[in-house]
Amino acid sequence: MAEPASVEEVAETMYKLVAQAQGQKKLKPGDLTKSAMQIFGDRVDKKVCKEAIKNLIESGKCVYTYFGGSFIEIPHEEGAANK
Amino acid sequence: MAKVPTPKLDELEKGPWPSFVTEIKKRADKHAACSDLLGILERSYNEKIGHWKHGGIVGVFGYGGGVIGRYCDLPEDFPGVAHFHTMRVNMPAAWFYTSEAIRTLCDIWEKHGSGLTNMHGSTGDIIFLGCRTEDLEPCFAELAEAGFDLGGSGSDLRTPSCCCGMARCEWACYDTMGFCYEMTQHFQDELHRPAFPYKFKIKAAGCPNDCVASIARADLSVIGNWRDNIQIDAAEVTNYAKAGLDIAADVVNNCPGQCIRWDGKTLTIKDEDCKHCMHCINVMPKALRPGKERGATLLLGSKAPIMEGALLSSVLVPFIEMEEPYDDIKELIEAIWEVWCEDGKNRERVGEFIQRVGMGNFLEAIGLEPDPNMVAHPRENPYVFYNLNEEEESDE
């Protein structure tokens, strides 16, 4: 049995996925969970993925956005924001 | 008053009814956002186009729901509504407030926002209309200090809501407010961190009158019900007849199950054919009452027409006893979310998901046995499939 992945490790991987997709595809929390489970295999479960997403949001590295549905993105200045 | 003339909006102040234009005008001298709101609305009426963009990145730290970003596309002309974000505040179960609580909410909103509210939104939340991005966090902090939290928005569990239940209604078959409160507390994570394909609403109605219209508006409708016989007080039935109620016309003939008999002296009900529509009980409340064995029916899948057409909920669990801490229901909800999150498409409500994969497959996935009570229409069962060959053989 492989050693379980830590929440921080999963969060870092998720962050890279979000960074790679930024500007091309918006990722939902479900997309990140499915990708993480594919990458880490039986080293993670949904609970760890959920904690990893929480970690990403609470560290300020990512934010929730809403564009028709809810997504996770790296904080950025949105085009429509009126300064 | 608005900074620009608003002849079209002024028309909406005429007539005997309260007017939203009048209310916004009252506030227009005190807050620039309200004055510009009138201006941009008049312009939309003239140009026949909307000037709002909704959604985006705004929110409070750590939360994915509760704030709906709104910007206008004419910030130079209407700077007061350049940012006009909406905040959704989780209402108390059944919308009970002290006047002090409402004053507190209003004071917070006058300080940080436009002062305009919408009590309440369709899901039931307290809606604060019009806030600048930099005011969101201070407003949220003061709300939290006063004991309030944000509600749901986006692809998350929306703020659970319920009828007034046992607090004010004699027909409540379970404690809707207790159930609503427990769901809100238990599913805090799902309420504030959007992780679903689309929104998910839970509404609790105490009896089949369904005053919160859960059967048409909630993904999960929890409707109070009973499984024994309607209680009949024969003496009160006689009193209704003596008082002039035409029981045959107003009760018997309006029964959708045609299960009531009235011979002029005695009223009898064939309870196995009762649809639990509540009509007879509503007409003769002193004479008839729901049975003593009370609980709820769980229905799944309704929605209003946004992405696709409207759906009504279908029966999922015909009867369940409603006892705290409602572990059976929590487990069922989690099983539904598990399947829907795994295979649901973006912006696909659970009712649409069930239509796509089929109720049979869905039930199998969530581990629930099909039941003849899971009907699309009374006395129809879409989940029993006959083998045509077997039917032909039996005919022979």
> Could you read off the pLDDT of B217-247 as tens digits, one per residue?
999 999 999 999 999 999 999 999 999 999 9
pTM recorded for the entire structure: 0.92
pLDDT tens by residue, B24-42: 999 999 999 999 999 999 9
pLDDT of residue B370: 86
pLDDT in tens, B113-157: 999 999 999 999 999 999 999 999 999 999 999 999 999 999 999
pLDDT for res B387: 64
Q: Which residues of chain A have pLDDT under 50?
A: none
Euclidean distance between CA atoms A36 and A57, whole angstroms: 16
Residue B189 touches chain A, beta carbons under 8 Å: yes
Residue B298 main-chain phi, psi, to 5 deg: -100, 130
Which of B55, B83, B197 is closest, CB to CB, to A30? B197
Q: What pLDDT sits at residue B381?
A: 57
Cβ contacts of B270-277, under 8 Å, gap ≥ 24: B271/B228, B271/B229, B271/B230, B274/B230, B275/B378, B276/B208, B276/B225, B276/B226, B277/B208
User: Which candidate, B246, B251, B321, B243, places its Cα nearest to that of B288?
Assistant: B251
Pick the residue with more confidence: B101 or B385?
B101
Residue B375 has pLDDT above 80, yes or no: no
**How buried is A59 (Cβ within 10 angstroms: 0-12 exposed, 13-18 middle, 19+ buried)?**
exposed
Contact state of A69 with B346 under an 8 Å Cβ cutoff? yes
Q: Which of B156, B188, B193 is the best residue to mutate to test the A interface, defined by the most A CB atoms within 10 Å of its own CB?
A: B193
Mutate to test the interface with B, among A70, A72, A74 (most CBs of B within 10 A): A70
In A, which residues are within 8 Å of B68 by CB distance? 66
> How far does A69 lie from chain B, in Å, by closest CA?
6
Average confidence (pLDDT) over B341-353: 95
Peptide bond into B51 cis (omega under 30): no
Q: What is the pLDDT of residues B91-115, one digit of tens each?
A: 999 999 999 999 999 999 999 999 9
Decide if pLDDT at B386 tops 70.
no
Residue B376 or residue B103, greater confidence: B103
Q: How far apart are the first and last CA of chain B?
A: 83
Q: Is B82 on the interface with A (CB under 8 A)?
A: yes
Q: What pLDDT is attached to residue A2?
A: 82
Q: Would you state the pLDDT for residue B308?
A: 79
Domain edges within chain A: 7-60
pLDDT band per the 50, 70, 90 thresholds, residue B385 = low
Q: Which chain A residues are Cβ-neighbours of B57 within 8 angstroms?
A: 63, 65, 73, 75-76, 78, 81
Res B85: pLDDT: 97
Model confidence pLDDT, tens digit, residues B191-226: 999 999 999 999 999 999 999 999 999 999 999 999
Q: pLDDT at position A81, please?
A: 75
Across the interface, whether the CB atoms of A30 and B194 are under 8 A apart is answered no
pLDDT grade, residue B1 (50/70/90)? low
The residue among B346, B350, B353 with the most chain A CBs within 10 A of its CB, best to mutate, is: B346
Of the candidates B226, B225, B199, the residue with the CA atom closest to the CA atom of residue B210: B225
Cβ–Cβ of B154/A69 closer than 8 Å?
A: yes
Strands A70-73 vs A63-66: parallel, antiparallel or unpaired: antiparallel
Q: Which residue of B has its CA nearest to A53?
A: B193
- Looking at CA atoms only, how far is residue A66 from chain B in angstroms? 5
Tell me what pLDDT residue B4 has. Answer: 85
Quote the pLDDT of residue B292: 97
pLDDT digits (tens, 9 = 90+) for B254-265: 999 999 999 999
For residue B371, how many other CB atoms are within 10 A of its CB? 15
Closest by CA to B367, choosing from B319, B327, B317, is B317
Beta strands in chain B (DSSP E): 52-54, 67-68, 70-72, 86-89, 116-119, 126-129, 161-162, 202-205, 220-226, 231-232, 260-262, 267-269, 288-289, 294-300, 314-320
B222 touches B298 (CB < 8 A) = yes
Give the residue carrying structure tokens 């549905």.
A69
Residues 153-182 of B with CB under 8 A from A: 153-156
What DSSP letter does each residue of B113-169 carry, written as one string?
S-SEEEE--TTS-EEEE---HHHHHHHHHHHHHTT--B---SSSBPPPEE--GGGT-
B195 and A53 within 8 Å at the Cβ level: the answer is yes
Contact B146, B126 (CB under 8 A): no
Nearest-5° Cα angle at B129, B128 to B130: 120
Residues 123-142 of B with CB under 8 A from A: 133
pLDDT at B378: 53
Task: Give me A35's structure tokens.
Answer: 């990708």
Element (H, E) at B112: helix B99-112
Please give the pLDDT value at position B383: 63
- Smallest Cβ–Cβ distance between A81 and the set B64, B71, B346 belongs to B71
Measure the N-to-C terminal CA separation of chain A; round to a whole number of Å.
Answer: 53
Residues B74, B75, B80, B85: what is their CA dihedral angle, to the nearest 10 degrees? Answer: 90
Smallest CA–CA distance from A26 into chain B, residue: B346
Rama region for B97: left / alpha / beta (φ>0; ψ in -120 to 50; rest): beta
Q: Is residue B185 predicted with pLDDT exceeding 70?
A: yes
User: Helices B32-47 and B20-28, interaxial angle, to 10°?
Assistant: 140
β-pair type (B202-205, B220-226): parallel
pLDDT, tens only, B269-323: 999 999 999 999 999 999 999 999 999 999 999 999 877 789 999 999 999 999 9
In A, which residues are within 8 Å of B62 by CB distance? 57-58
Residues of B in contact with A28 (CB under 8 A): 155, 195, 197, 346
ipTM score here? 0.93
